[in-house]
Structure 1
């Protein structure tokens, strides 16, 4: 074992230095989310007036339970319990999105780049890369644990004690370690970094969707989702440590499996079998767009399935969104049946505005993945043969760019259609077609504008691709949770997410649509020009 792990410290120091900026940005974002969420929840829950009860009624609705997690039952809801109920699922997902690509990069990514082969040519052990990745995972989670505990304790939430704070943070860290080590195992099984990332993200998305369904239908079944295990800790109420022990136990088993596979497999190979291709490629693959689509159809199919499933789930709970009004005796006394129904419709449309943000993000991520493959395929040498043919850089870049835009369009439209039609199937008073039109007209320009930003970056400064993901992620989070975090009303205007104008509740502003279309066209043209002029690998 010692021989196979030789020079782990050397690789660990190199990884920490290489990933320093990436980790610092993520740690700051995660810490800000915890601090802002705790502060805002304390401000709301300790205020006076009907706003507190309205918030609690809203959080108990199935639609909100599906998005953020079910509120604990049978306990007094105070600042601490509501904070834990709202933030647990949200932070588990954010933490996982931080560590999952980090684990792939430190293992399978280094193998694909040839870096690990050069390192292993020295006296570095076979499992040193996996061990170094595990050590880095532990280090960053220890840092997060200290920051989370210190932040929550310093804010002194009503109803919080150190035992509850310790358990809440420990559950987050246990879930993060579990998803990180699971990704490390997948990196040993998959044959490519891209495949490892896709499998890991698919499992994370499936875990979220299973948790969504079970939190809406029956919280007893939330145990079926690994994300639900963290919820079952019930910090500040039951303070149940068994789910945390379960997550640590699974983490140890996954880590042992990853270490064992790394020790036995050959460098650059995967355990999962790759499907054998045809002995002779089809003639239509001589076309760059056809070849690109053939190699990305798995990603496209995965995003389409995710959009269909998520749209069906979100649309299916729209009928329960207005329950807050029907079950509130004060509203029933103050408003007529017609007014209550109108208010219900307004709430449904407000929820659809939230769903539009999610499906815009779905479409952007799917399309941007195709666009960023241009640089990735260059680095791996896949485009070397193509560059040596008659194919121009303009044709090559436009193929990636236009297919990326097309993929983003299809994923977004499919998701919105599923939400609209499944929602109408569940609503007593179906929504008019004009609301579907508003959703599509508002969302598509935002999708195209964001994907075109990725096009601009990949054409001129591909090394700044991380800036794109940070910009998109921060824009989405600010728009979704800005009011919860007490941010200014127009704080989200720095990104296209902030200009959706609450569609479909309100009509879309024509100047904004024109601006997004102009940005898309200009960035697309600049992206082609940039790729023609810059050096390629």
Structure 2
């Protein structure tokens, strides 16, 4: 086979390696017919609608100029959002969404690429497909083309939506390309990690770690320099997105940086895929000891071994986030200034018990909504164990289905408490230190963070319900979490009606710290969570596994 391939002319060899790409692309788009449109619409519409929100909140040039000046003068806010390069409405949209939009597009891209490369190999489906007329590079090409289509759709929706709402066309296009190009760069990085590792989970983890590092470098660079000229910012692809400077004398040449980096990453991924067999990797898992540790003698020990690294990463991330949010809470009043509309939004998100307490409540709520992502992923690990044929050997022994499922659920539920506790601890400590009152602030802020747990557990219970009754529809759990994030994030600024806010379990929680709290919402949410989980476990017990 090698001799024949060497003898083939270059075009013929290339055609053989890409055979079946079109069919795999159509299959990928069909499998992602819900996930990709959901990502594109949510990301695109959130960015496109941000302009009208800023226009309503800061309706005069003087107010926008004051906002830009206060943001640029605050190192913590620059670390969080980046500097403001233009005080126009479009410039404020770019300030708020260039970095976070790039972050979300990168997450979308890594999920798409890993799903259609390493995950297909891990489940054995790729080996079955490769037995037909499918070239060696076809699966990777189809995955990258799928990511390209998704990111192009995001860029077009953002650019078109902003331009239609009256923003300058050049700036709108620049912001759309900044976000879409960042997504494609991380698609290339995900393609590399998919060749390096044996598991889809590890590939996602490595790419996610690279994404987290890029965001941290950008934050550190912007905190140190108001002009976004720090070398740390320029090392980060997310820093490139903000330095494209949409609506502020666009730097179109930065697109060449994205093009060069993406081309390099994609080329490297093709070189790696040509040098390994299907199912193999360049970083194979090390063989374990001949005798297992006592901690692995039961299903809980195995579940803990599988999920401990993820829990540790989330805990460290919440420690950092809580420290940052707590450090800027004291300046909440300065950030809002005398702008009545912004004050109303903060109070709708965090309560009317005082601006600083409302800001802390808002941050606790945001940590809670983000923690729901961890809990959902921890529950869905059951589904990946099932589809990867790793659950069957466990259940073939003296382990019942409920013990197997319960071991992972225990980590999902308890892990939620752990990361919220550490996030609340960091939030309360950093705020207490800034106001020289650690003893008086730590307890209430920590309690505010932990008060989010019943709402998180409600979404966790819904995920268990889907896994038990509709296992093929478990990806809908991500839509539930994404919907709650969207309601909590943009609902207050767009003045969603109360019934819409109540669709999220987080909308029923008291706005702590500072607000009066009763036990009723916590009891109801915990009861719903228990009911959903119980029904889901009944489904797990009765349905077929696999």
Alpha-carbon offset, residue 59 of structure 1: 4.7
Q: 1:327-362: CA deviations, max 9, x gaps?
A: 88x99xxxxxxxxxxxxx943323322321232134
TM-score (norm 1): 0.89
After superposition, the Cα gap between the structure-2 partners of 1:65 and 1:473, relative to the gap in structure 1 and judged at 3 Å, is farther
1:69 to 64, 82, 86: 82
Alignment of 1:493-532 (within 5 A): 493-532=502-541
Structure 1 residue 174 corresponds to structure 2 residue 173: no
Q: How does 1:337-376 map to 2 (within 5 A)?
A: 346-376=354-384
Moved more, 527-536 or 203-212: 203-212
The counterpart of 1:293, out of the listed 287, 292, 304, is: 304
Q: 1:441 to 1:312 in 2, by over 3 A?
A: closer
Map 1:331-342; keep pairs closer than 5 Å.
none
Equivalent residue of 1:317, what SS? helix
Is the Cα contact below 8 Å between 2:184 and 2:262 reproduced in 1?
Answer: yes
In the other structure, the counterpart of 1:398 is 406
Q: Decide whether the 8 Å contact of 1:318 with 1:427 is kept in 2.
A: no
Could you report, residue by residue, the CA deviation over 1:140-196 in whole angstroms, capped at 9, with x for unpaired residues? 333333322222221113xx2x22222222212211111111111111111111111
In structure 2, the partner of 1:85 is: 95
Structure 2 counterpart SS, 1:536: coil
Correspondence for 2:255: 244
Deviation at 1:111, TM superposition (A): 0.8
CA distance in structure 2 between the partners assigned to 1:346 and 1:62 by the alignment: 24
Query: Is 1:203 the equivalent of 2:210?
Result: yes
With over 3 angstroms needed to count, the CA separation of the structure-2 counterparts of 1:95 and 1:324, relative to structure 1, is closer
Tell me, in whole angstroms, the C-alpha distance in 2 between the residues paired with 1:535 and 1:8.
33
Alpha-carbon distance in structure 2 between the residues aligned to 1:275 and 1:365: 29
Secondary structure class of the residue paired with 2:16: coil
2:324 to 313, 321, 339: 313
Counterpart CA distance in 1 for 2:269 and 2:212 is: 22
Q: 1:526–1:515: structure 2 CA closer, same or farther, 3 Å change rule?
A: same
- Counterparts of 1:302 and 1:145, CA distance in 2: 30
Query: Residues of 1 paired with 2:378 and 2:323: CA distance?
Result: 25
2:161 — aligned with what? 151
Please point out which of 105, 111, 115 is paired with 1:105. Answer: 115
Determine if contact 2:510/2:517 at 8 Å carries over to the other structure.
yes
Distance 2:239 2:486 in 1: 22
Aligned equivalent of 1:340: none
Distance 1:13 1:99 in 2: 17
Task: Look up the match of 1:282.
Answer: 293
Task: Quote how far apart the aligned CAs of 1:71 are.
Answer: 1.3
Question: Cα gap change, 1:281/1:85 in structure 2, threshold over 3 Å: closer, same or farther?
Answer: same
Asked whether the equivalents of residues 44 and 52 of structure 1 are also in contact (C-alpha less than 8 Å), the reply is no
* Counterparts in 2 of 1:137 and 1:535: CA distance versus 1, 3 Å: same
Equivalent in the alignment of 1:337: none
More deviation in 464-473 or 258-267?
464-473
Aligned-pair CA distance for 1:130: 0.9
1:24 lines up with 2:37 in the alignment? yes
Q: In structure 2, what is the Cα distance between the partners aligned to 1:34 and 1:264?
A: 41
**How big is the shift at 1:26?**
1.9
Question: Residue 428 of structure 1: CA displacement?
Answer: 3.8
Conserved? CA contact 1:438–1:508, under 8 Å: no
Match of 1:401, SS state, is: helix
Unaligned stretches of 5+ in structure 2?
1-13, 341-352
**Contact 1:307 / 1:414 at 8 angstroms: preserved in 2?**
yes
Contact 1:310 1:415 in 2 (8 A): yes
- Taking the aligned partners of 2:486 and 2:77, their CA distance within structure 1 comes to 16
Question: TM-score normalised to the size of structure 2?
Answer: 0.88
> Which residue of structure 1 lines up, in the alignment, with residue 474 of structure 2?
465
Answer yes or no: is the 8 Å Cα contact 2:379–2:408 preserved in 1: yes
In the alignment, which residue of structure 1 is the partner of 2:279? Answer: 268
Structure 1 residue runs of 5 or longer lacking an equivalent are 332-344
CA deviations on 1:42-83 (whole Å, 9 max, x unpaired) are 3344x35986567556655445433333212xx5x1212112
